[in-house]
Chains A and B, each alone.
Chain A
Amino acid sequence: MGQVIVITSGKGGVGKTTTTANIGTGLALLKHRKVVMIDADIGLRNLDVVMGLENRIVYDLVDVVQGVCRLKQALIRDKRFENLYLLPAAQTKDKTAVSPEQMKNLCGQLKEEFDYVLVDCPAGIEQGFKNAIAGADRAIIVTTPEVSAVRDADRVIGLLEAAGFEEPQLIINRIRPDMVKRGDMMDIDDIIDILAIDLLGVIPEDERIVISTNRGEPAVADESSKAGQAYRNVTLRLEGENVPLMSLDVEPTLMERIKMLFGLRAKK
Chain B
Amino acid sequence: MDFLRLFGREDVSSKDIAKERLRLILVHDRANVSPQFLEMIKSQIINIISDYVDIEEEGLEIKLTRMKKNEDATVPALVANIPIKRIKHVARA
Q: Which residues of A line the B interface, CB within 8 A? A: 146-147, 150-151, 154-155, 158, 180, 182-187, 190, 194, 255, 259, 264-267
Please tell me if B19 contacts chain A, counting CB pairs below 8 Å: yes
B15 touches A185 (CB 8 A): yes
Determine if B14 and A190 form an interchain contact, defined as CB atoms under 8 angstroms apart: no
**Which DSSP category, helix, strand, loop or mixed, fits chain A's interface?**
helix
Residues of the B chain whose Cβ atoms lie less than 8 Å from the Cβ of A265 = 8
The count of residues in chain B whose C-beta lies closer than 8 Å to any C-beta of chain A is 16
Is A184 a contact of B14 with CB atoms below 8 Å? yes
Q: Quick check: B18 and A147 within 8 Å, CB to CB?
A: yes
Residue B92 is within 8 A (CB to CB) of chain A in the complex = no
Q: Please, how many angstroms separate the alpha-carbon atoms of A190 and B20 in the complex?
A: 10
Partner of B14, one of A151, A154, A183, A255: A183
- Interface mask (B17-45 → A, CB under 8 Å = 1, otherwise 0): 01101110110011000000000000000
Once the chains are docked, how many angstroms separate the CA of A156 from the CA of B14?
Answer: 25
When distances are taken between beta carbons in the complex, the residues of chain A under 8 Å from B15 are: 180, 183-187, 190
Q: Which residue of A lies closest to B22 (CB)?
A: A147
Residues of B within 8 A of A150 (CB): 22
Q: Which residue of A lies closest to B25 (CB)?
A: A151
Judge if B3 is at the interface, Cβ distance under 8 Å: no
- Indicate whether A190 sits within 8 Å of B8 (C-beta atoms), given known contacts A147-B25, A183-B14, A184-B13: no
Docked Cα-Cα span, A259 to B7, in Å, equals 9
In Å, the complex CA distance between A255 and B6 comes to: 8
Chain A residues within 8 Å of B30, by CB: 154, 158
Q: How far is the CA of A186 from the CA of B22 in the complex (A)?
A: 11
